[in-house]
């Protein structure tokens, strides 16, 4: 494994994007970075600016209103970048499926690298998903 | 004997210059992250090297290999130049601080030293403020500009008590050179141990007050927690660094680590006796130990406190610290005159 892959997989900085979630998924994402679960063990930090982030954690069923903003934030992130879709809504629309105003999934708008199912997924599941993403990237 | 050219090259680039300071800066970042994590009942970085000790290195390499985006509206030249300045200026200032001499195991001498280098360090600290302001301003982002003005406001306010408090030991030592101040501390410690006199007590108390003033001001200069309104994530995303990505962000982060080392090195050499300690241990070990203690003090403060409002932050400097530092310098004058 070359040194750049080594560094990349050991320092995934997250940005959290709420694309119309009911807020339960967001609370679980925030719970995953609390002292009890401590994502910083894997070198992950929560960043505010998309310019600093490597991994975008998207929750919610991408409403039509937020679609353009999601795309724009995604484009503001520097390459290489990854997207993790957290929760049933972000995967397929979940309980909001077939509503007139949702896109039914993050992957209809931007490419997604990892899906974490659940409504809402536990922090353990989010950690597991992030670590699996890192492993597939060569951890 | 190594030829003088080679030895000064080694001094500047390897030890105690560039490579030594960079690796120590990364080590300090790891220490402070681990320490803050333990205070918050976490474990901090764990899987990158032993106990996560390589975490800052991994962060830097990752940032160096990432895409580097320059916003369309930014002032391209200043935007590209300022991260280099933010990184290089504190490194230059560290060259003026005595750590270890290359030829003599028990000797210590800065890489460059002359009468008045304390003033140069103060000047470099002010130039760092200017480059931080320009870095935020040139990014042409509204959060960046707000962060830059906040940073300038805060650092200029705390620059004044910092400067005054740092002159205190210089008045006692009757010299503006950091090396001479260190020597004065060693000398007076030696004098006190061989013939204790009462005069040493007010001097020690005054130096302790100066140490506290300096620590608070350096927290503000470093934008650590009680003074982190320039990069308040909840209000202005990431303050003046918001548009930086890739190598430029990597340089800014390294610059911040080097600044942390500079701050603790200044505290060490002005108030804690610099690289001097009991005999069988070489100066560089004492220097590392004392600066590590200072890093722990700084990161402890940043883990304990919550962010101050802007008016509290400004009031803290102009209403309390600046008058306190003037009283302090008056007391220093009186005691130094009596000695
Ligand atoms: S998946 Fe469930 S918990 Fe998450 S946003 Fe959708 S409805 Fe809410």
- Omega prior to A80 cis, within 30 of 0: yes
Q: Where residue B330 falls among pLDDT bands split at 50, 70, 90? A: very high
Q: Which of A98, A91, A100 is nearest to A59 (CA)?
A: A91
Q: How many residues does chain A have?
A: 139
* pLDDT score at B74: 81
Q: Is A54 on the interface with B (CB under 8 A)?
A: yes
From chain A, pick out residues whose CB is under 8 angstroms from the CB of B74: none
Q: Is the CB of A86 under 6 A from ligand 1?
A: no
For residue A29, the distance in angstroms to the closest alpha carbon of chain B comes to 17
Nearest CA in chain A to B33: A40
Expressed in angstroms and rounded, the spacing between residue A26 Cα and the centre of ligand 1 is 9
A1, part of any domain: no
Find the CATH number of the domain harbouring A121: 3.40.50.12280
Query: Which whole-number Å values give the CA distances from B181 to A123, B98, B173, B208, B274, in the listed order?
Result: 54, 10, 5, 15, 9
Look at B62-71, B101-110, B295-304 and tell me which has the smallest mean pLDDT. B101-110
Largest Cα–Cα distance of chain A, in whole Å?
47
Distance CA B232, CA B239 (A): 6
Q: Which of B248, B227, B31, B9 is nearest to B111 (CA)?
A: B9
Q: Which of B178, B154, B180 is nearest to B166 (CA)?
A: B178
Q: Is the CB of A9 under 6 A from ligand 1?
A: no
A47, part of any domain: yes
Contact A56, A84 (CB under 8 A): yes
Helix residue spans in B65-116 (DSSP H): 76-94
Q: Is A82 on the interface with B (CB under 8 A)?
A: no
ipTM value > 0.95: no
For residue A44, the distance in angstroms to the closest alpha carbon of chain B comes to 9
A2, part of any domain: no
Helix residue spans in chain A (DSSP H): 3-10, 24-32, 64-76, 88-92, 123-136
Q: Is the CB of A27 under 6 A from ligand 1?
A: no
* pLDDT score at B1: 58
From chain A, pick out residues whose CB is under 8 angstroms from the CB of B52: 41, 43
CA dihedral A42, A43, A46, A50 (to 10 degrees): -120
* pLDDT score at A1: 67
Over residues B206-250, the pLDDT tens digits come to 889 989 999 999 888 888 878 887 777 777 777 788 888 888 888
Contact B310, B146 (CB under 8 A): no
Side by side, which strands form the sheet with A82-86? A45-46, A13-18, A55-59, A82-86, A114-116
- Per run of 10 residues, the mean pLDDT along chain A (length 139 residues) is 82 87 88 84 84 88 88 88 89 86 86 88 88 79
Contact B99, B110 (CB under 8 A): yes
What residues make up the domain containing A22? 10-134
Q: Which of B167, B173, B201 is nearest to B187 (CA)?
A: B173
Over residues B162-206, the pLDDT tens digits come to 989 888 888 888 888 888 888 888 888 888 888 888 778 888 888
Total count of domains within chain A: 1
Expressed in angstroms and rounded, the spacing between residue A117 Cα and the centre of ligand 1 is 10
Q: What is the pTM of this model?
A: 0.88
Residue A40 has its nearest CB partner, among B44, B67, B68, at B44
Look at B61-75, B222-236, B323-337 and tell me which has the smallest mean pLDDT. B222-236
Nearest CA in chain B to A46: B233
Domain spans in chain B, listed from the N-terminal domain onward: 4-338
More confident residue, B153 or B107: B153
Q: Among residues 7-66 of chain B, which lie with CB inside 8 Å of chain A?
A: 33, 37, 40-48, 52, 54-55, 57-62, 65-66
Q: Would you say residue B93 has pLDDT above 70?
A: yes
A104, part of any domain: yes
CA dihedral B55, B61, B67, B72 (to 10 degrees): 80
A43, part of any domain: yes
Query: Residue A59: in which H helix or E strand, if any?
Result: strand A55-59
Inter-chain residue contact A48 with B44, CB threshold 8 Å: no
Helix residue spans in chain B (DSSP H): 4-13, 18-39, 55-64, 76-94, 117-138, 142-173, 178-194, 200-221, 233-236, 246-271, 283-304, 310-315, 322-338
For range B102-129, the mean pLDDT: 81
Tokens of residue B69, six digits? 């985006």
A73, part of any domain: yes
* pLDDT score at A138: 67
* pLDDT score at B66: 86
């Amino acid at each position: 494994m070359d040194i750049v892959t080594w560094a990349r997989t050991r320092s995934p900085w997250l940005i959290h994007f709420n694309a119309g979630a009911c807020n339960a998924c967001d609370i679980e994402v925030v719970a995953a970075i609390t002292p009890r679960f401590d994502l910083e063990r894997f070198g992950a930090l929560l960043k505010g600016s998309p310019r600093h982030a490597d991994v975008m954690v998207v929750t919610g069923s991408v409403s039509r209103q937020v679609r353009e903003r999601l795309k724009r934030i995604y484009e503001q992130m520097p390459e290489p970048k990854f997207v993790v879709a957290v929760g049933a809504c972000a995967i397929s629309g979940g309980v909001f499926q077939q509503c007139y105003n949702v896109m039914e999934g993050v992957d209809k708008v931007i490419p997604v690298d990892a899906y974490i199912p659940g409504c809402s997924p536990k922090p353990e599941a989010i950690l597991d998903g992030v670590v699996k993403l890192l492993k597939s990237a060569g951890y | 004997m190594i030829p003088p050219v080679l030895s000064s090259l080694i001094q500047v680039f390897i030890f105690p210059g560039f490579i030594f300071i960079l690796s120590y800066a990364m080590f300090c970042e790891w220490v402070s992250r681990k320490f803050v994590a333990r205070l918050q009942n976490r474990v901090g970085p764990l899987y990158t090297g032993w106990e996560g000790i390589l975490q800052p290195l991994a962060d830097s390499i990752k940032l160096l290999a990432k895409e580097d985006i320059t916003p369309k509206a930014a002032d391209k030249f200043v935007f590209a130049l300022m991260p280099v300045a933010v990184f290089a200026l504190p490194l230059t200032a560290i060259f003026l601080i005595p750590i270890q001499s290359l030829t003599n195991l028990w000797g210590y001498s800065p890489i460059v030293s002359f009468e008045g280098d304390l003033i140069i360090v103060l000047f470099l600290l002010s130039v760092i403020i200017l480059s931080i302001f320009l870095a935020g301003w040139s990014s042409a982002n509204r959060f960046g500009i707000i962060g830059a003005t906040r940073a300038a406001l805060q650092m200029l306010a705390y620059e004044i008590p910092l400067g005054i408090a740092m002159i205190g030991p210089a008045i006692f030592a009757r010299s503006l050179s950091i090396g001479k101040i260190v020597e004065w501390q060693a000398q007076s410690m030696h004098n006190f141990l061989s013939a204790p006199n009462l005069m040493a007590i007010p001097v020690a108390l005054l130096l302790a007050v100066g140490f506290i003033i300096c620590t608070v001001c350096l927290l503000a200069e470093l934008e650590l927690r009680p003074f982190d309104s320039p990069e308040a994530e909840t209000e202005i995303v990431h303050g003046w660094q918001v548009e930086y990505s890739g190598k430029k962000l990597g340089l800014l982060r390294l610059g911040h680590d080097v600044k942390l080392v500079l701050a603790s090195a200044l505290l060490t050499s002005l108030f804690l006796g610099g690289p001097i300690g009991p005999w069988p241990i070489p100066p560089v070990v004492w220097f590392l130990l004392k600066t590590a203690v200072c890093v722990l003090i700084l990161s402890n403060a940043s883990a304990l406190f919550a962010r101050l409002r802007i008016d509290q932050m400004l009031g803290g400097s102009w209403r309390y610290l600046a008058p306190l530092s003037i009283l302090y310098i008056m007391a220093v004058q009186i005691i130094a005159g009596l000695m």
